[in-house]
Amino acid sequence: MSEERKEEHLYNFTGEKAGMQGVDKAEVNRVIHEATKDSDFYKQQITRDSQIQEKIASMQVEIDQFFAQGESHIRRFREEVEAKTAEIEGKRVLSETWIHVDMDMFYAAVEIRDQPELRELPVAVGGMNMVCTANYVARKFGVRSAMPGFIAKKLCPELVFVGLHFDKYKEIAGQVRDILKDYDPEFESMGLDEAHLWVTPCLTARGMDNDEGRQELAREIRRRIFEKTQLTASAGIGSNKMLAKIGTDINKPDGQFYLPPDRDQIVAFIAGQNVRKIPGIGKVSEKILNELGISTCAEILSERLKLFAVFSPNSFDFFLASALGISSTQHPTEVEDQKSISVSKTFRATEDIQELESRLGKFCKEVAEELQSKGAAFKTVTVFYKTAKFESKSK
């Protein structure tokens, strides 16, 4: 096995992102490996991966010990797992409708709208230090957000970089939010470009709470967004937040996906999903699950006794509920339910204290505005940062 294949899990590349189906993952990993193998980033990833491998090895020992304790022991815990499965299944709600709205390649789409000559070209918003987002032409080469620009350029030599214009993006996001409020005044914003909408009351009020009505409401929202901004949005429609979010990616760009509120259809749909599709499962969790022989939601269910043996009760419940297609169907009932508010940006390494202070000031302003809008208060402020050597620290 080649060196880059052995170490491909070190790289922040996943083919699960919309527009990246069919990308040659092995080739992308080869390019990333060649570009980073002597860098501080690579050294930091090696250190981090070593820690993850130690954790996986420890988990594997726990699993072996668990299953070595005899059939009566295993039977007792299997009954406990089955009871937990039934308990979570009892929390399934099919009477609500959520729509997840996601602006297609938002930053790139704004720049292409304003510079139509870029439409057929591979475009990335950002620079040689970092890609913030890329259009679908560029994604076919493996270029994606949170990728260093110099690597993106190696993957796609014809890539065109466009600078960031956050004030413009925030203005357009405000226009979109004004539309979303008409359908759910309490919608949950997830950055500038996506949102969760609980639309059951809207559907009921309009007499549209049926299969066609739910889909028509999503089409109406997307149509209004395009008429106002000349930008496309995609949507997922499901009976809970998670299903709606997963569905959003399926027919991107400028499309929508509807998963009917039917238990059998939901379970069949979620079974085939890669674990990385589950909101809350990132690169590290995916790596651990894969090493334990789990890559799909169906395998979470079939191997749930193994997960029960090594994960905390909260993590186990999360994995199990996700694999059953069960998730939240309500907005947080109180401000206290939301544990944190955060804002983050990736930018080039700098020792310029004035620039760092300016960025911190902007972050504070954004967080303060959101706190004010929610009528919330805070008791702790934490700054997370990553050094030029890719070491993560907090204060």
Does 355 qualify as catalytic in the annotation? no
Classify 147 in phi/psi space as left (phi over 0), alpha (psi -120 to 50) or beta.
Answer: beta
SS3 112: helix
Q: Residue 209's CB: how many other CB atoms inside 10 A?
A: 18
Spell out the residues 6+ positions from residue 150 whose beta carbon is closer than 8 angstroms to its own.
Answer: 35, 128, 129
* 160-162 and 123-126 strand pairing: parallel
Task: Give residues with Cβ within 8 angstroms of 337, minimum separation 6.
Answer: none
Cα dihedral value 168, 172, 173, 178, nearest 10: 150
Strands 384-386 and 131-134: unpaired
Distance separating alpha carbons of residues 359 and 317, to the nearest angstrom: 38
Question: In what order do the strands lie in the sheet containing 256-258?
Answer: 188-189, 194-198, 98-103, 233-238, 256-258
Map 301-316 to HEC letters: HHCHHHHHHHCCHHHH
Mark 284-318 as b/e (b = at least 16 C-beta within 10 Å): ebbbbbbbbebebbbbbbebbbbbbbbbeeeebeb
What is the distance of C-alpha 144 from the center of its chain? 13
Catalytic one of 194, 357, 369, 370: 194
What whole-number distance in Å separates Cα of residue 132 and Cα of residue 163?
A: 10
- Which residues are the active-site residues? 194
